[in-house]
Amino acid sequence: MRDTHGVWKRELRAMVALAVPVVLSELGWMAQGVVDTIMVGRLGPVAIGAVALGNAVYYTPSLFGIGLLLGLDTLVSQAYGRRDHEECHRWLAQGVYLACVLAPPLMCLVAALSYGFTRFGVIPAVAAPAGSYLRLLNWGTLPLLLYGGTRRYLQGVSQVRVITVTYILANLLNWGANWVLIYGKLGFPALGVDGSAISTCIARVSMAAALLVFAWRYERKRGHPLFRHWAAPQLARLRELLRLGAPAAGQIVLEVGAWNLATISAGYLDPVALATHSIALNYASITYMVPLGVSAAAAVSVGHAIGAGDPARARRAGWLALGLGVSFMLFAAVVFLVAPRPLIALYTSDPRVLRVGPSLLGLAALFQIFDGIQTVSTGALRGLGETRIPMFANLVGYWVLGLPLGFTLCFLLHWGIYGTWIGLTLALVIIAATLLVRWRRDSARIAFTD
C-alpha cells in the first residue's frame, strides 16, 4: 500500500511539473490578443473594435491549423517514451513540412475574409482598419504554425519551461513594439492599428525562432543533434499526422464555432444580454485555460507511458490529470457562486448587467466541472492516439443537441440568454460523460490487453 501511495504521489508531482508551465503558456496565448486590444485603447472605440474584430476572424482558421499539428502530441510523446529520439526528430520534421504546406491556403482564406467585413454589415469606419489589421496579422501565420509544431515537439520530450519563458518574453516584446509602432515612438512612424498587427507578427517570428533554437541546443547537448539526420518529407508520415490531427482540428472548430454562434445570437437580443454573455464567457474562457493546459500534459504523460509499454502508468496519468483539472474547475465554480456580483462589477457598473450577470455566472459554475472533464479527457485520449471520438462528441453535443435546444429556449420560449446557456451546459454534460466513459473503457482495455 505504501509503495502504491508513493507511486501516485511521485507521478502527481511529475504531472504538476509538466502541467503548470503548459497552463501558463495557454494563458500567454490568450494574453497576446488582450495586449493588442489594451495598447490600441487610447486610439478610441473604432481602433478597439477593429483589433477585436480582426482577432476574432483570425482566431478560427489559425486554431484549425494549429489543431492539425496536435497529432505531434501522440507521435512524439510515444516515441520519446520508447526512447527513440531519432523518431522524435523525424516527427518534428514532418510537423515543419505540414506547417509550411498549411500556411498558404490558410493565409489565402484569411486574406479573402479581410475584404468581407462590409458585406457582413460591419460599419465602414471599423471595417477598413479591421481589414488592414487582419491582412498584416496574416503574415504571422507561418511563424505561428512553426511555433505550434515546435511547441508540441518540446512538450513531447518534456521540455515545457522554455515554452512559458518564450511566451512571457514574446508578450513583453509585443507590448514594447506596440508602443513604438502604434504611437510612433523612437523615431518610427505612428502606424495606429496596423502597428499593432506588425508587432504581433514580430512577436510570433521571435517565438518560432526561439523554440527552434532551443530544440537544436537541447538535442545537441543530449548527444542527439537535431539536424544531423533531418528527415525529408514522407507522405506516409504526413498522412498519419493528418489522421490524428484532422479530427483534433475539427473538434476545436466545432467547439469554438458553437460558442461564437452563441455570441452572435446574443447580439440579436439586446445590449444587456450581449454584454452579460460576453463577461460570463470571458470568465469561462480564462478558467478553461487551466484544464486546457492540463489536457496537453495528460496527452504527453499518457503518450510517454504508452511508448514505454506501461499501460498501468498511462491510466494513472489520465486519472491524475482528470483529478487536477476537475479540482481546479470545482474551485472556479465555487468562486463563481460565492462572488458573482463583484466579478461582474470588475467589468461594468451597469445595474441591468449586474442584475442578469450573477445568474449567468451561476450557469457557468454549473458547467465548470463538466468543461474540465471533457477538456482533460480529450487530452488523455489523444495520448492513446484517439482523436475522432472527441470530434464526434462535440458535433453531437453542441450542434445536434445543445445549440438547437438553447436557441429554442432563447428565441421560441423567450427565455433569453439563459436559454442559450442552458443548451450549452447540456452540451458540455453530454460531451463530458461521453469522453469520460470512453477514456475509462479504452484505458482499461489497454491495461487488460497488456
> What's the pLDDT at 1?
47
pLDDT (tens digit per residue) in 17-71:
888 888 888 777 777 777 777 788 788 777 877 887 788 788 889 989 999 999 9
Residues making up the chain, counted from first to last: 450
HEC sequence for the chain: CHHHHHHHHHHHHHHHHHHHHHHHHHHHHHHHHHHHHHHCHHHCHHHHHHHHHHHHHHHHHHHHHHHHCCHHHHHHHHHHHCCCHHHHHHHHHHHHHHHHHHHHHHHHHHHHHHCCCHHHCCCHHHHHHHHHHHHHHHHHHHHHHHHHHHHHHHHHCCCCHHHHHHHHHHHHHHHHHHHHHHHCCCCCCCCCHHHHHHHHHHHHHHHHHHHHHHHHHHHHHCCCCCCCCCCCCCHHHHHHHHHHHHHHHHHHHHHHHHHHHHHHHHCCCCHHHHHHHHHHHHHHHHHHHHHHHHHHHHHHHHHHHHHCCCHHHHHHHHHHHHHHHHHHHHHHHHHHHHCHHHHHHCCCCCHHHHHHHHHHHHHHHHHHHHHHHHHHHHHHHHHHCCCHHHHHHHHHHHHHHHHHHHHHHHHHCCCCHHHHHHHHHHHHHHHHHHHHHHHHHHHHHHHHHC
CA distance 154 to 163: 8
CA distance 81 to 385: 14
Q: Check pLDDT > 50 for residue 148.
A: yes
CA dihedral angle for residue 163, residue 61, residue 304, residue 155, rounded to 10 degrees: -10
> Across the chain, what does the average pLDDT equal?
89
Q: 41-45, 104-108, 300-304: lowest mean pLDDT where?
A: 41-45
- Position 449 confidence tier, pLDDT thresholds 50, 70, 90: low
User: Do the Cβ atoms of 336 and 367 come closer than 8 Å?
Assistant: no
Listed by start position, the domains of the chain span 18-233, 243-450
User: Do the Cβ atoms of 143 and 201 come closer than 8 Å?
Assistant: yes
**pTM of the shown model:** 0.88
- Position 383 confidence tier, pLDDT thresholds 50, 70, 90: very high
Q: 3-12, 63-72, 258-267, 392-401: lowest mean pLDDT where?
A: 3-12
Instruction: Report, as an integer, the average pLDDT of 420-444.
Output: 95
User: Do the Cβ atoms of 426 and 401 come closer than 8 Å?
Assistant: yes
CA distance 296 to 177: 30
**C-alpha count within 13 angstroms, C-beta hemisphere, residue 295:** 23
pLDDT (tens digit per residue) in 213-260:
999 998 888 887 888 778 899 999 999 999 999 999 999 999 988 988
CA distance 390 to 279: 27
CA distance 163 to 165: 6
CA distance 27 to 350: 28
**C-alpha count within 13 angstroms, C-beta hemisphere, residue 163:** 28
CA distance 31 to 186: 25
Cell numbers that stand for 445 in this block:
482495455
> What's the pLDDT at 447?
64
Q: Residue 112 contacts by C-beta under 8 Å, 6 or more apart in sequence?
A: none
CA distance 57 to 257: 11
> What's the pLDDT at 345?
86
